[in-house]
Amino acid sequence: MAANWNPKARQWVQGRRGWKTNLQSKINFWQSAHVGSHSGSNQESLGVASKIIWMHCASLGEFEQGRPLLEALRKTHLNYKIILTFFSPSGYEIRKDYKGADHVMYLPMDGAANAAAFVDMVQPSLVLWVKYEYWHYYLAALKQRNIPVLLVSGIFRPTQPFFKWYGNFWQNMLDCFHQLFVQTIASMQLLETIGKSHMCTVTGDTRFDRVIDVAANHTPLSAQLQAFCEGQQVLVAGSTWEEDEEELIHYTRVYPRIKFIIAPHEVSEERIKDLKQEFPQALLYSGLITEPYVANDSSNVLIIDNIGSLARLYKYATITYVGGGFNQSGIHNILEAAVYGKAVVFGPVYEKFAEAKDLVDAGGAFSIENALELEALLNKLFNNNEELVAAGKIAKDYVVQHHGATEKIMRYIYTNRLLMS
């Protein structure tokens, strides 16, 4: 029903149409190529269906979380095909051309018929479920067929239904997993209260591995962007919502010598139009890169109107601001900023995120409640280089100290022989 007026819902519906035909066509192609390349050998009967790894992600953030593991498996198991599924258009539409997978698609609606059809078509050797999204029929179908399923970078909280008096249905879904790789000791302790700690391993968060890899292989953005930032104090605000931008508007006007780069969470035409109204003198990145940049004191705000550059943008910042902290869902990924040794600022809703709480306690990140607090904090940091550098060092050291989750999960896969070469 929502697809009649909501563009995102329309993508959700349209993207799932014809999934059986498209998937079967892809598998048939792999099958014929496999048989052709092994003509006359006793491997012919194995078929490509026994050589598939399936990773499911709710959206883009979960994909970035699972990506280090997916790419590690790609390097070590070249003879396996990889199927990547998304629930949300915000993940699929951005990563549908991702070259690290052999097939990218929407996860068909959870139901007994869809789940059985999908699993029987794919016949995965291994399934990787990233962070959360527990679809009953899919998990039941995988358990029934004794296909190993691993939860990657899981996080559990007391408010989740697993830990309520009515949680048996949800607890049964956990029994469909072979192993739960969780981010924190607190998650393991919660699982212990429902008798699931025996199938749980604390590995940390694979996002740390991902952001370290991105930073280590950083490639510069446009020369015009570098010229815009050169010799200036710069605040990069990433994944912002309207509530975040409302906190920034006054500061951008009062401090014209500071450069502001705003990368909104969504870059639809309507969203960019709203941003231009909020920041009338702002430049659009799409316009900035069309010709050599000429310094203009009346334009100290740059709006990023594309997707995919945020993780590299943070490197240009003096201070970073990560959006989402004024929404119930909470802040976006602060590790993308922290890995570059940048102090991180965000709104008040961050309690669900262990890394945010840790960095606030350590002094590498700062939470603000309103525009007045933001102004006071930014003035303090911009005018005290020693404190700014110290906060950035705390942030970077924290990221480096928490890497290694991918390696731990890979070791489990090898030790338990979940994939055969």
Q: Model confidence over 325-334: pLDDT tens digits?
A: 999 889 999 9
Best-predicted range by mean pLDDT among 7-11, 75-79, 118-122?
118-122
In the predicted structure, residue 67 carries a pLDDT above the cut 50: yes
Of the candidate CATH numbers 3.40.710.10, 3.40.50.11720, 3.40.50.2300, 1.10.260.40, the domain formed by 2-204+404-415 belongs to 3.40.50.11720
> What residues does CATH 3.40.50.11720 cover in the chain?
2-204+404-415
Q: Which of 60-64, 164-168, 218-222, 295-299 has the lowest mean pLDDT?
A: 295-299
Q: What is the pLDDT of residue 204?
A: 94
Q: Which of 12-26, 30-44, 65-79, 240-254 has the lowest mean pLDDT?
A: 30-44
Q: What is the pLDDT of residue 161?
A: 95
The confidence band for 37, taking pLDDT boundaries of 50, 70 and 90, is low
In the predicted structure, residue 48 carries a pLDDT above the cut 80: no
Rounded to an integer, the average pLDDT of 239-266 is 94
In the predicted structure, residue 6 carries a pLDDT above the cut 90: no
The confidence band for 49, taking pLDDT boundaries of 50, 70 and 90, is very low
- What value does the mean pLDDT of the chain take? 91
Best-predicted range by mean pLDDT among 14-18, 248-252, 304-308?
248-252
Q: Is domain 218-401 in CATH 3.30.70.20, yes or no?
A: no
In the predicted structure, residue 70 carries a pLDDT above the cut 90: yes
- pTM for the full predicted model: 0.87
The confidence band for 46, taking pLDDT boundaries of 50, 70 and 90, is very low
The confidence band for 45, taking pLDDT boundaries of 50, 70 and 90, is very low
Q: What is the pLDDT of residue 47?
A: 46
Secondary structure, 3-state, the chain: CHHHCCHHHHHHHHCCCCHHHHHHHHHHHHHHHHHHHCCCCCCCCCCHHHCEEEEEECCHHHHHHHHHHHHHHHHHCCCCEEEEEECCHHHHHHHCCCCCCCEEEECCCCCHHHHHHHHHHHCCCEEEEECCCCCHHHHHHHHHCCCCEEEEEECCCCCCHHHCCCCHHHHHHHCCCCEEEECCHHHHHHHHCCCCHHHEEECCCHHHHHHHHHHHCCCCCCHHHHHHHCCCCEEEEEEECHHHHHHHHHHHHHCCCCEEEEEECCCCHHHHHHHHHHCCCCEEHHHHCCCCCCCCCCCCEEECCCCCCHHHHHHHCCEEEECCCCCCCCCCCCHHHHCCCCEEEECCCCCCCHHHHHHHHHCCEEECCCHHHHHHHHHHHHCCHHHHHHHHHHHHHHHHHCCCHHHHHHHHHHHCCCCCC
Rounded to an integer, the average pLDDT of 50-77 is 93
Q: Model confidence over 192-214: pLDDT tens digits?
A: 999 999 999 999 999 999 999 99
Q: What is the pLDDT of residue 237?
A: 97
The confidence band for 401, taking pLDDT boundaries of 50, 70 and 90, is very high
In the predicted structure, residue 50 carries a pLDDT above the cut 70: no
Rounded to an integer, the average pLDDT of 149-166 is 95
- Of the chain, the percentage scoring pLDDT greater than 90 comes to 81
Q: What is the pLDDT of residue 329?
A: 86
Rounded to an integer, the average pLDDT of 310-329 is 95
- Of the chain, the percentage scoring pLDDT greater than 70 comes to 95
In the predicted structure, residue 11 carries a pLDDT above the cut 90: no
Rounded to an integer, the average pLDDT of 399-418 is 96
Q: Model confidence over 336-387: pLDDT tens digits?
A: 999 999 999 999 999 989 899 999 999 999 999 999 999 999 999 999 999 9
> What residues does CATH 3.40.50.2000 cover in the chain?
218-401
